[in-house]
Structure 1
Amino acid sequence: MTYINIALGKGRLVDKTISLLKEMGIDFCEYHSESRKLIFEDPKNYIRIVLVKAVDVPTYVEKGAADIGVVGKDTLLESGANVFEMVNLGFGNCKFVVAGCEQLNLYKKKLIVATKYPNVAKKYFNQQGRSIEVIKLNGSVELAPLVGLSDCIVDIVETGTTLKENGLKILEEICPISARLIVNKASYKTNFQQVNTFLEKLQAIINRLEVNNP
């Protein structure tokens, strides 16, 4: 039996994913949140996790460096990676939105949209036949409409508090976001039994947790 390699994005999803794996009887005894190690193994279950930058998870899985990955739907959509999206893990919930000043006309001739997610923004507005200019920012996108850099933003929100504190409002909701489990297409075919058994056990745990915590 070979190891199943799982790519996890360093950050908010790691601890929840490891807790979920522990429910499956998979334990990484050396792991702790302050560790600088990037690879952890459970030799009993032939599972290995590799900690990478969250934005790189789809690439690791698509290129076969990992068989499986756990990634936010936002990162997955932006990457456009050619992978199988298999399981909604049910945590890390938020949503993609268009936000701006309340009086903004989203149907003006051409919008300037600031975002960390240019591919998501372009696809959303293009599907509606609306013309936009995208400005790629790496942080504090809420500032862009306030200083005249853009008309609006496309971003992920959880509670909307940051928007409200900066005088912005959700104008349109694009789609819900949560943590997803993705699988390399070749791994799913060549190592189907092992990977599928893992997926079935994981889904059973998720179903049980949903019943106990409706």
Structure 2
Amino acid sequence: MTETEKLQLADILCGVVVPLIVGVIIIALPAIIAPGAAAMFGEMSPIPIILTIGFAQMVILGVPLFLGLIWNKWAGGAAGFLLGTLWYIANAGMYTFDYFAWGYTEWNFFRDVSFLGYIVNAMLIGYIAGSLNKKSFSFKRMLVSSLIASIITAVFQFILNYQFALEPSRNMTLADPGYAFFLIIVPQIALAIIVPIIAKVFTWYGIYPGGRT
């Protein structure tokens, strides 16, 4: 058994500084940046929505996508199931309780098919990307796999929102289908570009299952 290496500056940067920066960014998006964007572009602008709900969905879908690319389809699918389930419970609960508070007791979003789509999409994006990438560390292949998986899941979610969602959710999509699709596709295209870049950087440093660290 080898002796543990001494603590180095790189360890502090990667283990403390970088996670703190990421945490601050995650908090700043809904707390500071999104309200600022709403004040600048207007409440009806898609930018504040993308910076809040869109960013949250990027995290929920990004982790299984990343694991699918850098590990395998099973890891991506399993992570998607776990994170998608958490997102489903959180959103269904929030909307159900909100509508109850407003006096609309007939709407139970736990049975909204479009909300169940969060679980399915999170599983699909990780599984599809992993299946197409086949553990390749080629950036081009990771990018193409991510784009295909992201576009498929975005279209799938839009169909659920448009055709099968409960009336309150469905009406928002039917009111402006183009805008509704835009809000879904933009974060996922961004995700499909960002995640392969992160995955590629991880491979440079051997940070993957079976790697150096």
Query: Is TM (by shorter chain) over 0.5?
Result: no
- Structure-1-length-normalised TM-score: 0.24
Higher RCO, 1 vs 2 (CA within 8 Å, ≥6 residues apart): 1
Structure 1 or 2: more strand by fraction: 1
